[in-house]
Structure 1
Amino acid sequence: MKKILLISSLVLSIISIGGCSTFEKNNEESKSEIVDQVFKRVEAVELPTVDISLATDVVSHRALYNIYEGIYRFGKSNELVPAGAKEMAKISEDGLKYTIHLNEKAVWSDGKPVTAKDYVFSWQRSVDPATASEYAYMFSPIKNATKIISGELGRESLGIKAIGKYELGIELETATPYFQNLLAFPNFFPQREDIAKKYGNEYAKTSENTVYNGAFVLEDYKGPGVSTEWKYTKNDTYWDKDEVKLREIEVNVVKEAGTALSMYEDGQVDETYLSGELAQQNKENTDFVTVLQPNTFYLQFNLKKDQSILKNKNFRKAISYSINRELLANNILSNGSKAAYTYVPMGLSFSPLGDKDFVNTSRTKAVFDKKKAEECWNKVQKELNRKSIDLELLVTDTESAKRLSEYFQEEIQTLLKGIKINITSVPYAVSLDRLQSGEYDLALTGWSADYPDPMSFLNLLTTNNQLNYGGYSNKEYDTLVSEINDNLGTDVGLRWDKMIDANEIIMDEEPITPLFQLAKAYLRNPNVKGIEAHSIGAEFDYKNAEIVLK
């Protein structure tokens, strides 16, 4: 799952998304013909939402990034590129004030200009408690955002204002090293107030109930978690439309990886995901692509339930020690994924001197140790006077999730006698709902970085974060995270050390137990060129994609 990996933040889907081929690769006659620029791909799960304020997952963020556009885009190397802005923001010396001149060529799909007021409305809507945005906390660097989210101030107090029709002024609470990266993130994109008011509660619930300012517009989307197919069509009003080559992107939801692979091999689609044995079997295929993502998938413990055995630290440790992460990554996933021993993934962030990966600073790591697993379980049995326990493991209804959950079930039940794991497999959108409502014991989920900083992960486990679905609460941790966010924006050395301390608390208490860092494995027709894969923010950018026959 994403961003929520996921999800991307989020809760995220636990399988890779990839692609396949609808045109002849070796048809010499077709080389001289005009190629129909239609790209067909497979998605493993339904699209949960296209509401900018409500999106939290990988699939939604991928859609939003291609049908809307914000102040910046990410370039090929994840560098920031002006898009909705005319140029890079002007920043005050103290790092607190940003002035942004907008791109006056940008218009909505109904022809109206994209103005500063659209950004003001969008951000105010996202922090408004009435919207119930789970990503509202992402706006916390902005002046008064935290007080608005808590209901202490009205949304009009947010530190963003329209200086003119095409000029934005932004004021922060404290200097924030990663703030400019947020301006390329989908939840910070503009929204039209008149359109939101027109459709009310039905706003952005279908493809017809909104307007777009990105390279593509969404079509045939019938609602959250409902549509099993939809498409992105080239936006003829997009300011940079001459650079957009694809006429259409067709998406079909296929949950069985084997079925999706057959569709690719039959030429029905141009891209498909691979998982487990299928990834292993196709590693030598010239169409095979794998990319290690800045995410961490983990077992999440529901700590909200009163008297739950999951509140016992030794029990969580027993579960963690019982999992062989190397075997999981290398034998079960077999797609280039890596074992994860810490909450923050490798390759995301490096020390101020750039010489040490944040992962390598962790003194406490999640490891496989049968003896310690049994010792911790024995302690729990004595402490609570219990010899057995039944637990529900919540997963999505994908083939990959099923295989992983069965592995956990067997490993835990075999090593820790008396523990029974019951697997509940539900559609992606339903799993998100159940995570949010706390209807589970254990959940197989994950998170993908929204920006290249450990706080993209560490912020999630504070007591009042709406994405803290497990209900973890630790005053020391909350205080430490607040100090990092509020007081250490310019002291990069001390900030780094404090983030290490925060990570140590999580790894010691394990409200989540890290499992693996997911690599995306997929097959894509080599005639499809120009798709940009980003390690942060939205996963795929189709703006510069095109079909080029060899």
Structure 2
Amino acid sequence: MKKSRWTLVLSLVLVLSVFLSACGGGGSNNGGNNGGGEGNGDSASEQIMNLYATAEIPSMDTTQATDATSFNAMNQVFEGLYRLDENNEPTLGVAAEEPKEEEKDGETVYTFTIRDDAKWSDGSAVTAEDFIYAWHKALNPETISPYASMFGTAGIKNGNAIITEGDPLYGKVEELGAKAVDEKTLEVTVENQVPYFKSLLTFATFYPQPKAFAEEQGEEFALEADTMLYNGPFVFSEWNHGEGWNYKKNPEYWDAEVVNLEEITVKVVKDTATSVNLYETGKVDRATLDADFVDQFKDGEDFSTILEPTMFFLRLNQGENEALANKDIRKALFLAYDREGLVNVLLNNGSVAAKYFVPKDFVKGPDGADFREFAKDGFFADQGEAEAKEAWEAGLEALGTDSVDFEFLTTDTELSSTIAEYAKEQFESKLDGLTITINKQPWKQFLKLEDAGDFDISTGGWGPDYPDPMTFLYMFETDGAYNRMGYSSEKYDQLVSDAKKETDEAKRWEMMQEAEKVLMEEDIAIVPTYQRGLAIIQQPYVKNYYVHTFGADASYKWVKIEGK
């Protein structure tokens, strides 16, 4: 078959990339703590940081958000019992001290004390009842959170039962193992010990909400900057939908004395060229680079790369599309995709090709080995284009057709559009009879269409919410909130369910590895594409910008502008 335009372009650029790499030096790899350290600059510098985001915030309701943009914003303006520190460890938030632990009838009861100086931005006290209100709201069938399963994941008593239709406790939020003993005392009962329990409590779904204020606002709650209250390091001073938002230091925050920044501006910028221009003209202090700009900046002191435990993949809507319900068709798509060309040329930012779903260099098992060691190179590692064509022909024959049309749903950012065009070229050039139509949508509309199952193929991305493989694997349980593609496997569901309950870590690890194998090899439910790397430029005067490996992207609480 003739080579596609992308194949020819990639071949040329790969040669040029090798040449350029040989001629130049590499940048530093600072990991998560970019620009860290106290520095020796002028501490009197104006404490304003300027950033950008590639998408508008879809939701600031902690019980309803599902995306990284929302969670990152929430991490700056809200706070739970714990928050993540610079080392990605849970540190006390509005909890005054570590909880008291008591064993009762095979269960563990944690008693948390809320800080006396924990306040909302209107000066009112943060109470234990604010936690109960938010948690019940997240579990109530009428207002259920897409992240409602997190309560069961945390082992909180009846967390799973309350959201399971058919269970006697379904919808009975008052049966949750959490209660406000008094204004400052929160009691949480867990059915089973979860080693990352405190890390889970840093996540937005476990944040409190100001009950009286939220009920007063009704349906308007958290829709605008002035229809929510804040208990974190910052408050929203402006929220111009579609354009950006501004933070200001929260004077009511209990730990305000360690917060250096007085203001943070965030612009919505969807293309890299614009963000780089803003960086070079001093209008933003940090930018993420795509392949077009890496070589320009890679030798600078302000350049660094990070390999994140964030996975990108293609959802295949087998619940709504007859062709995608065919395993051979799915296998053909899995094998036809050239991941090396994607990461080495189109991305060129430290990302790595992936034929797996649980990322490497993320978590280690009880034997100290990385989760990925059991299938280090992923799945179908020794198969490629020839096997893709064979599977495709078998799939078409089973369907009784010689052509298939798919709609490819993606977002309207520059990078997403480029990757979608790349996927279209990959598939159409290698799989005869396939036609793909790309549907580009703004982020909020993309989420609505994907949630409704109104797509054939869609671009998916997932970063961990807590430090465990289950944060990836639970996504594809039957009817799960993030399944979104009609995938259902009794074997997969059973493995995931059993792993959630298993207390023997070695057995639990084996169950999760087997579950990934079912998802990827036996069912070929998704097409993983890459594990994200980030090529970043950050002004040297930005100190203590802490990047997180799970949950929210970063924390601004400790950022300091020094020497500008």
| TM-score normalised according to structure 1 size | 0.90
Match of 2:298 in 1: 283
Question: For the residues of structure 1 that align with 2:480 and 2:43, how far apart are their CA atoms?
Answer: 54
Amino acid at match of 1:109: S
Match of 2:387 in 1: 372
- 1:130-168 per-residue CA deviation (whole Å, 9 max, x = no partner) reads 113111111123212223223524211111011222221
- 1:356-382 per-residue CA deviation (whole Å, 9 max, x = no partner) reads 111121386154601110110011121
Question: For the residues of structure 2 that align with 1:409 and 1:182, how far apart are their CA atoms?
Answer: 38
Match of 2:337 in 1: 323
Q: Contact 1:449–1:457 (CA<8 Å) still a contact in 2?
A: yes
Q: Contact 1:203–1:209 (CA<8 Å) still a contact in 2?
A: yes
- The Cα of 1:33 is off from its aligned counterpart by 9.0
Residue 332 (structure 1) aligned with residue 342 (structure 2): no
Q: Contact 1:298–1:515 (CA<8 Å) still a contact in 2?
A: yes
Q: Name whichever of 420-429 and 141-150 sits farther off.
A: 141-150
Kindly tell me: are residues 49 and 280 of structure 1, through their superposed partners in 2, closer, same or farther at Cα, counting changes over 3 Å? farther
- The Cα of 1:109 is off from its aligned counterpart by 0.3
Question: For the residues of structure 2 that align with 1:492 and 1:386, how far apart are their CA atoms?
Answer: 48
1:90-109 maps to which residues of 2 (within 5 A)? 90-92=100-102, 96-109=108-121
Match of 2:539 in 1: 525
Q: Contact 1:395–1:431 (CA<8 Å) still a contact in 2?
A: yes
Residue 310 (structure 1) aligned with residue 324 (structure 2): yes
Question: For the residues of structure 2 that align with 1:471 and 1:194, how far apart are their CA atoms?
Answer: 39
Match of 1:341 in 2: 355
Amino acid at match of 2:361: G
Q: Contact 2:134–2:209 (CA<8 Å) still a contact in 1?
A: yes
Residue 113 (structure 1) aligned with residue 125 (structure 2): yes
Q: Contact 1:316–1:511 (CA<8 Å) still a contact in 2?
A: yes
Amino acid at match of 1:312: N
Q: Contact 1:39–1:246 (CA<8 Å) still a contact in 2?
A: yes
Kindly tell me: are residues 272 and 466 of structure 1, through their superposed partners in 2, closer, same or farther at Cα, counting changes over 3 Å? same
Match of 2:175 in 1: 157
Match of 1:15 in 2: none
- The Cα of 1:503 is off from its aligned counterpart by 1.0
Question: For the residues of structure 2 that align with 1:190 and 1:310, how far apart are their CA atoms?
Answer: 41
Match of 1:437 in 2: 452
Match of 2:158 in 1: 144
Kindly tell me: are residues 437 and 366 of structure 1, through their superposed partners in 2, closer, same or farther at Cα, counting changes over 3 Å? farther
- The Cα of 1:417 is off from its aligned counterpart by 1.1
Question: For the residues of structure 2 that align with 1:544 and 1:475, how far apart are their CA atoms?
Answer: 46
Q: Contact 1:343–1:457 (CA<8 Å) still a contact in 2?
A: yes
Match of 1:469 in 2: 484
Question: For the residues of structure 1 that align with 2:162 and 2:542, how far apart are their CA atoms?
Answer: 45
Match of 2:265 in 1: 250
Amino acid at match of 2:122: D
Question: For the residues of structure 1 that align with 2:453 and 2:43, how far apart are their CA atoms?
Answer: 55
- 1:49-77 per-residue CA deviation (whole Å, 9 max, x = no partner) reads 11100111111110001100111111211
Query: What is the SS of the residue equivalent to 1:353?
Result: coil
Amino acid at match of 1:162: A
Question: For the residues of structure 2 that align with 1:514 and 1:506, how far apart are their CA atoms?
Answer: 11
Match of 1:361 in 2: 374
Match of 2:440 in 1: 425
Match of 1:181 in 2: 199
Q: Contact 1:39–1:250 (CA<8 Å) still a contact in 2?
A: yes
Match of 1:84 in 2: 94
1:454-465 maps to which residues of 2 (within 5 A)? 454-465=469-480
Match of 2:549 in 1: 535
What is the aligned-residue RMSD (CA, Å)?
2.0
Stretches of structure 2 that go unaligned for 5 or more consecutive residues are 1-31, 36-40
Amino acid at match of 1:496: W
Question: For the residues of structure 2 that align with 1:293 and 1:204, how far apart are their CA atoms?
Answer: 30
Which of 51, 54, 79 is 1:69 aligned to?
Answer: 79
Match of 1:448 in 2: 463
Query: What is the SS of the residue equivalent to 2:408?
Result: strand
Match of 1:496 in 2: 509
Match of 1:6 in 2: none
Which of 192, 202, 208 is 1:190 aligned to?
Answer: 208
Which of 218, 222, 241 is 1:200 aligned to?
Answer: 218
Q: Contact 2:107–2:189 (CA<8 Å) still a contact in 1?
A: no
Residue 548 (structure 1) aligned with residue 558 (structure 2): no
Question: For the residues of structure 2 that align with 1:541 and 1:42, how far apart are their CA atoms?
Answer: 15
Query: What is the SS of the residue equivalent to 1:311?
Result: coil
Q: Name whichever of 84-93 and 432-441 sits farther off.
A: 84-93
- The Cα of 1:337 is off from its aligned counterpart by 0.8
Question: For the residues of structure 2 that align with 1:273 and 1:459, how far apart are their CA atoms?
Answer: 30
- The Cα of 1:95 is off from its aligned counterpart by 6.2
Kindly tell me: are residues 79 and 458 of structure 1, through their superposed partners in 2, closer, same or farther at Cα, counting changes over 3 Å? same
Stretches of structure 1 that go unaligned for 5 or more consecutive residues are 1-17, 22-30
Question: For the residues of structure 2 that align with 1:470 and 1:89, how far apart are their CA atoms?
Answer: 40
Q: Contact 2:43–2:563 (CA<8 Å) still a contact in 1?
A: no
Q: Contact 2:44–2:562 (CA<8 Å) still a contact in 1?
A: no
Q: Contact 2:250–2:256 (CA<8 Å) still a contact in 1?
A: yes
Match of 1:12 in 2: none
Question: For the residues of structure 2 that align with 1:57 and 1:481, how far apart are their CA atoms?
Answer: 23
Question: For the residues of structure 1 that align with 2:477 and 2:268, how far apart are their CA atoms?
Answer: 34
Kindly tell me: are residues 42 and 125 of structure 1, through their superposed partners in 2, closer, same or farther at Cα, counting changes over 3 Å? same
- The Cα of 1:430 is off from its aligned counterpart by 1.1
Question: For the residues of structure 2 that align with 1:461 and 1:450, how far apart are their CA atoms?
Answer: 15
Which of 396, 407, 413 is 1:381 aligned to?
Answer: 396
Question: For the residues of structure 1 that align with 2:110 and 2:380, how far apart are their CA atoms?
Answer: 41
Q: Name whichever of 31-40 and 528-537 sits farther off.
A: 31-40
1:262-277 maps to which residues of 2 (within 5 A)? 262-277=277-292
Kindly tell me: are residues 326 and 89 of structure 1, through their superposed partners in 2, closer, same or farther at Cα, counting changes over 3 Å? farther
Match of 1:124 in 2: 136
Which of 515, 518, 522 is 2:529 aligned to?
Answer: 515
Query: What is the SS of the residue equivalent to 1:371?
Result: helix
Give the paired residue count: 517
Q: Contact 1:366–1:514 (CA<8 Å) still a contact in 2?
A: no
Question: For the residues of structure 2 that align with 1:458 and 1:233, how far apart are their CA atoms?
Answer: 37
- The Cα of 1:32 is off from its aligned counterpart by 6.7
| TM-score normalised according to structure 2 size | 0.88
Question: For the residues of structure 1 that align with 2:339 and 2:71, how far apart are their CA atoms?
Answer: 28
Question: For the residues of structure 2 that align with 1:479 and 1:540, how far apart are their CA atoms?
Answer: 34
Query: What is the SS of the residue equivalent to 2:315?
Result: strand
Q: Contact 2:141–2:171 (CA<8 Å) still a contact in 1?
A: no
Residue 213 (structure 1) aligned with residue 225 (structure 2): no
Question: For the residues of structure 1 that align with 2:150 and 2:182, how far apart are their CA atoms?
Answer: 25
- The Cα of 1:276 is off from its aligned counterpart by 2.2
Question: For the residues of structure 2 that align with 1:279 and 1:59, how far apart are their CA atoms?
Answer: 24
